[in-house]
Amino acid sequence: MSRFRPMWQQMLAALLWVLLRIGESGRMNSFGRQAMAHWQEHLPAAYRQIADPEMFFTRAGEEMLTQVDELTRHLAGPDLPGEDYLDKVARVNRARMEAEEIAKADSGMFPPPELTRTEWEHTTPQEDALIDWVWRMQAQQEGLAETHLSFPEAAAVWLLPIEYLEQMTAAYSPWDFWKNHPTEWEASVQARWERHQAEDATDR
């Protein structure tokens, strides 16, 4: 059996492709659906910040598809001398697969997953860093060292009341003070976690 497809079959395949593209107009394509699913699963906080997810991911999918089509033509190149139909299909398919990977990577629509609360706590300075700052502040008050953060600046970083930080610095044992005031610390952790989520959603 000849490996060449009759001309009418090639024309029919091209027509079906055009009709499918027309049918997809205004609807979310597969790239948009993949991106939406990625955000829903891995970036829920950022996803909730999107005012109109349907429109957002529909447009993102259209942009990726346009890039895929352009890259596919570029990567596939011109027909090769003596190349039959099946060889051409294989060459174009390889080019399209590569184009899809490039377009998805370039789109910025598949960022790494958001940190969980536990992961964030393990990778963000916590009580050890706060206690270290308090010791430096105590040393600075005694003229023995300097710290780059004032009380207002530290309060903004840790989202703790200035009064809390002043009392902690005046305490004989900052560790004991921290352990004896769990409510303020838990409120600080929660507030900083919410700040991280908001900033992460904005960055994405």
Handedness of CA 203, 28, 101, 113 (dihedral sign): positive
pLDDT for 25: 52
Residue 92 to residue 87: CA distance in whole angstroms: 9
Can you state the percent helix, strand and coil of the chain, rounding each to 5?
Answer: 75, 0, 25
Report the C-alpha gap between 138 and 170 in whole angstroms.
Answer: 8
Q: What is the reported pLDDT for 169?
A: 94
pTM comes to 0.52
pLDDT of amino acid 97: 93
pLDDT of residue 1: 43
Average pLDDT of adjacent 10-residue blocks, the chain of 204 residues: 48 50 68 93 85 92 94 91 88 92 91 77 81 90 81 92 94 92 91 82 60
